[in-house]
Structure 1
């Protein structure tokens, strides 16, 4: 396996070096980073390279439980990327490698949205129209205005994952409750999927690998595949990468978001920021 800093982490390091002593406060401290739960990190070895992704049970608990269970059983090992659209996504997770198969588990009820209260604040949150945008861990999220929580019975507001590059979404048929085992990695942003598909994870390292997978609808003679899919917690200690992700609630990340927001102006969304990650 080959481990490295993500492009976002490299850019942040370079920016910190160029800022110099006058802006030392922009340099991330050790407290600005978090270590993901290894039971929520999936390590995918493909023939094109390594993908490391984090799962978010606080957003889609049933989908994460399903994927974790299938990963632990070895279900995904050897499955191809059978449907890959260049500026959209790469789909896998079908034992038939055709798009019509699934596991022997029952289909999942949709988790297109989730309820967010004061116990789940948005990292680096900002106004986006009448809503708010930010991050839950590394997942880009849009939410109703937090001020509305005082008017709801559960003191929470509706929130949903945004299908930015690297986000993992659960594939389904026409029935909203038809997701089973198939899922996809976003190659580029596509907001039309928001609130119509379940977002349950995001790539920490390997978006470049996802974008290098052979395209096709379906892929002709698909060769690109997931050779091995494991939870980080289940890897032997000597083969387990050390993963750190910038805490999206940290001052360093808020500064990164503010800088990008100033550069882009009114067109800015949370899809325009990559959360820095270090993998060693």
Structure 2
């Protein structure tokens, strides 16, 4: 996303968006931290051009009544005001609860593959990479056209992926298996850093929410790690059994985040993306 000069600070944005006085302000990492009148502590995030999509995604995930997400106190195109999450250490019980909650989130569904959250823009973001939400009925075709090939083309143009490597991934797109899975309500960027652990269990932040295949969220947890992941997956499978061959399909679903990372961070992820494509046979 292209940075824009701020016309106001976190405290001013929080007061404007919530209609509440700010009685204290500071910083937690790169985010603003404010105390609102009444005592609520909130995080103020500056995300120019992307805040509206993130707010819509958080509200859509919250509407499922399945996973915990920070409450959106206010948002516009550039700013988000969210509940502060007090971090704690994950427990086995919390991991198992998260697995069941994630299954329930996915089961809440979406109108189609690629469906954006209600009120969310089609032109959204995953991290600092653009992500277009274009609805589709056929998962293999939609996944290839809107979650794999756009990033292949961008990576080639940037010199992060060679034309021969791109050809390997393009050939793999023709072998994506069909699925009987209904469109799931995805977090969409479910790496370890977006799963916070608190006294109430797992809290999900920074979504790139859209309708997709439920195994894509799980594959991202496998790619970047998650505390007690095996317990998360086991509890998920108990609540909503995964189709046979789930483990063998993990590289297929990791193609999307690996290519996003290739675009964002260069060739250090290119080899993993090509290896994932080659594993599809």
The bucket for the TM-score relative to the shorter chain is under 0.3
User: Which structure has the highest strand share of the two?
Assistant: 1
TM-score of the aligned structures, taking structure 1 as reference length? 0.24
TM-score of the aligned structures, taking structure 2 as reference length? 0.24
Task: Work out which structure has the larger RCO, using CA pairs closer than 8 Å and 6 or more positions apart in sequence.
Answer: 1
